[in-house]
Amino acid sequence: MSLTVPSAPVDIAEHFPSLVPYARAVTLLYPRIGNPGREDSSLGGPLLWPADETWPTCAATDHYNPARDCAVVGPVPVAMAPVLQLFRRDVPALAFPPGTDVLQVLWCPLVHSEHDQWSPVPVLRWRSTVEVLAEPLLEQATPPYEFDDDYVPQPCVVHPTGTVEYPNWDLPAELLERVGEWSAELEETVGISYFDAFTTQQSKVGGYPGWMQEPDWPDCACGIPMEHLLTISASESCGRWLPVEERTRPGSGWEVRAHGEHEEEDSHGMAMGDCGGVYVFLCRSCPGWPSVHRYDC
Ligand SMILES: [Zn+2]
Ligand SMILES: [Zn+2]
């Protein structure tokens, strides 16, 4: 079930038309603690998985659990954790490879030094529901024998909700400077900055990465910039992006955080470093739609 995003505090086309070409469709996921089934879209829920397909494991030689003195884990491979499952029916804006209608994201819930990112490394599976349901299903996924609970989500139902967002730092320098000035003005006049009102830092499909550090947009081996497929983020909606259905106070309430002090109890509970996020990018021009990730915190 989708939620209702409060309308924007001002009309960008009227107040800052230079930003209009940067508008991008985004589907905000709004993960909330729940009891999703394997045939539901979910964050941290069970995956629709064929019984005869080996559960993916990670045997990286450098992965470790920072909660345990950063000792390298091994030599037994670590089972990956289910992170995200999205059915096409729930995210109509997401284009799937032909013949598939469910996207699954898993990762090894340990820290990897690969490419100096110090993060979990996500893997993607695109599947056909009809094909998976034609064979016996896996009843119980293998739990990882070692994990950093910063990277194991609590099971959440999702509420994919389509809206529009704009870039935070992915703008030409001159435009970004003008946006910064306008943002300060907005904060004075309507009580919310451009960055809080028009950019998001929460789990989503499409749109822009909510960069906290310098943008580090990957290029594919074929030479073109990759597409931002999705973000899994520690923070899950506040201020303007807190859905109408979860607002207990009347008014625009731009300052409202989700569920007051209990925000973290209502979502997946991953801190991901310090309010971090994992951004997954892919290239639809190359066979197999290769993907890479960036970690930001
Ligand atoms: Zn690993
Ligand atoms: Zn490519």
Q: Which of 104, 129, 157 is the last residue of a domain?
A: 157
User: Which ligand approaches the C-alpha of residue 122 most closely?
Assistant: 1
In a domain, 149, yes or no: yes
Distance 272 CA to ligand 1 centre (A): 15
Tens of pLDDT, residue by residue over 108-155, are: 999 988 766 788 989 999 999 999 999 999 998 888 888 888 899 999
Residues 103 and 213 in one domain: no
Question: End of a domain among 128, 157, 186?
Answer: 157
Cα 181 to Cα 277: distance, rounded to the nearest angstrom: 27
Q: Which residues of the chain fall below pLDDT 70?
A: 70, 74-75, 115-116, 248-265
pLDDT in tens, 142-167: 888 888 888 999 999 999 999 999 99
Ligand minimally distant from the alpha carbon of residue 285: 2
Q: Are residues 88 and 54 in the same domain?
A: yes
Residue 73 lies in a domain: yes
Domain of residue 81 covers 33-157
Do 146 and 265 fall within a single domain? no
Question: If you measure from the C-alpha of residue 38 to the centroid of ligand 2, how many angstroms do you get, rounded to a whole number?
Answer: 32
Where is the domain boundary, 157, 178, 201? Answer: 157
Report the domain count for the chain: 2
CA 195 / ligand 1 centre spacing (Å): 34
Q: Which helix (H) or strand (E) holds 82?
A: strand 81-87
Q: Is there a domain that residue 182 lies in?
A: yes
Residue 149 CA, ligand 1 centroid: distance in Å: 14
Residue 205 in any domain: the answer is yes
Q: Are residues 111 and 196 in the same domain?
A: no
Ligand number, closest to the Cα atom of 225: 2
DSSP state of 243: -
Between the CA of residue 41 and those of 15, 36, 102, 286, what are the distances in Å? Answer: 37, 7, 9, 27
255 Cα: distance to centroid of ligand 1 (angstroms): 38
* C-alpha of residue 92 to centroid of ligand 2, in Å: 23
> 221: CA distance to ligand 2 center in Å?
6
Predicted local confidence at residue 41, as pLDDT: 98
- Looking at the fold, whether 55 and 136 belong to one and the same domain comes out as yes
* The predicted structure's pLDDT at residue 255: 54
Residue 3 maps to a domain? no
Res 261: pLDDT: 43
Helices (runs of H) and strands (runs of E) counted in the chain: 5, 14
Cis bond upstream, residue 75 (ω within 30) = yes
The number of the ligand nearest the C-alpha atom of 64 reads 1
